Amino acid sequence: MYRLNSRDFINFKADREIKINDYLRERGLSSRFITKSIKLGNIYLNSRKIRKNKKLKLGDIISVRFEDENPNGKVQLMDLDILYEDDDIIAVNKPKNMVTHTAKDDSHGTLLNYMLGYFDKNNIKRKVRFVNRLDRDTSGIVLVAKNSYAQDKLSSQFKDEMVKKYIAICKGHFEEKSGVIDAPIATSEDGIRREVNYAIGKHSKTSYEIIDEYKDMSLLLLTLHTGRTHQIRVHLSHLGHPIIGDELYFEKSDLIHGQALHSYYIKLKKVRCDEFVEIKAKAPSDFNFYKSAFLD
């Protein structure tokens, strides 16, 4: 029975008498998606396909089928470090020196291409939908939604509820061994860099904790409370402690290829229930220029 295939369907149980369209909108599905799904015959009531906006009874089971989709990029194969997977989410540990999404100058060799290869290999007939992205030289956790419903739910979580922690190696020692950087960020005049700007910047908040100090460097655990572009890089540079190897906000380093910034930890709520999932990604081997084999 199709309804039992949780990868292709999401099921809801009616808790009162209400029209199907209204009920599904309350569950976060857009009116456009609902209308299209009914038209295509992708909505089932108690395992039977429907094409009208019927009124639900208490205990009715509404099942919405996700359409098969064509790949949204070139399919390429690569062994990926998959950290977590369920019917709605994949968490992958993105290596450094890899672009997350294809663009005009990066149509292949991106995480999108390799995720499409993973989808193809595992018969997941959907577009790859990224919930977050990392800069080319930042490694760590990237979340992928397997369907549009999951993307909407996770994107909403990512803005407000999701716990996101990074590790970084920075120049110098901090006077305060923990603290909060609450400084608004705006795009600089060159259109590429970001900067702290108290006049026009958007609210940006990062908390930090010093894990270790060695020579003229500090190892930090950082928590993102907002999600501005280059937020951690800008905030640490603003404090006078730029990230080692960050060529945009500091300088190239012979100690590490790229910048010493890694998306280490995410705590999220599953799409279909209130259960929480904690995901960790070990730092790449080139972080070992620092004295510690930290955060196993």
pLDDT in tens, 116-149: 999 999 999 999 999 999 999 999 999 999 998 9
Question: Which of the listed residues 14, 41, 65 is the one where a domain comes to its end?
Answer: 65
Residue 223: per-residue pLDDT: 97
Do 60 and 73 fall into the same domain?
A: no
Do 169 and 96 fall into the same domain?
A: no
Asked, for residue 248, whether it belongs to a domain, the answer is yes
The residue-averaged pLDDT of 245-262 equals: 94
**Bridge partners, 187 (sequence order):** 194
pLDDT value at 292 more than 80: no
What type of residue sits at position 274? D
Task: Supply the CATH number for residue 93's domain.
Answer: 3.30.2350.10
Asked, for residue 7, whether it belongs to a domain, the answer is yes
Report the candidate in 235, 233, 224 with the shortest Cα–Cα distance to residue 184.
235
Residue 120: per-residue pLDDT: 96
Confidence of residue 103 (pLDDT cuts 50, 70, 90): confident
Question: Which of the listed residues 158, 190, 223 is the one where a domain comes to its end?
Answer: 158
Do 252 and 227 fall into the same domain?
A: yes
Confidence of residue 106 (pLDDT cuts 50, 70, 90): low
User: Considering 8, 60, 88, 135, which one is annotated as catalytic?
Assistant: 135
- What residue has token string 């909505």? 43
The residue-averaged pLDDT of 242-246 equals: 97
Contact 101, 135 (CB under 8 A): no
The residue-averaged pLDDT of 140-164 equals: 92
Do 230 and 199 fall into the same domain?
A: yes
230: DSSP letter:
T
Asked, for residue 269, whether it belongs to a domain, the answer is no
Report the candidate in 64, 58, 65 with the shortest Cα–Cα distance to residue 14.
58
- What residue has token string 């998306």? 263
d(CA 18, CA 240): 58
Asked, for residue 286, whether it belongs to a domain, the answer is no
- What residue has token string 């999701």? 162
Confidence of residue 55 (pLDDT cuts 50, 70, 90): very high
Asked, for residue 282, whether it belongs to a domain, the answer is no
Number of domains observed in the structure of the chain: 3
Residue 169: per-residue pLDDT: 96
Asked, for residue 144, whether it belongs to a domain, the answer is yes
Domain of residue 126, residue span = 69-158
Q: Give the pair of three-digit tokens for residue 201.
A: 């910047």
Which pairs with CB-CB distance under 8 Å and at least 24 residues apart come from 119-123? 119/71, 120/71, 120/75, 121/77
Share of the chain above pLDDT 70, in %: 96
135 is annotated as an active-site residue:
yes
Asked, for residue 51, whether it belongs to a domain, the answer is yes
Judged by DSSP in three states, 97 sits in coil
d(CA 162, CA 260): 23
Question: Which of the listed residues 126, 158, 190 is the one where a domain comes to its end?
Answer: 158
Do 81 and 116 fall into the same domain?
A: yes
The whole-model pTM stands at 0.91
Exposure pattern of 217-252 as b/e (b: 16+ CB <10 Å)?
bbbbbbbbbeebebbbbbbbbbbebbbbbbebbbee
> Is the four-CA dihedral 117, 121, 124, 130 of positive or negative sign?
negative
Do 16 and 83 fall into the same domain?
A: no
Report the candidate in 53, 68, 59 with the shortest Cα–Cα distance to residue 22.
53
Residue 293: per-residue pLDDT: 42
Do 188 and 242 fall into the same domain?
A: yes
Judged by DSSP in three states, 76 sits in coil
Do 61 and 93 fall into the same domain?
A: no
Asked, for residue 84, whether it belongs to a domain, the answer is yes
Task: Supply the CATH number for residue 57's domain.
Answer: 3.10.290.10
Do 101 and 78 fall into the same domain?
A: yes
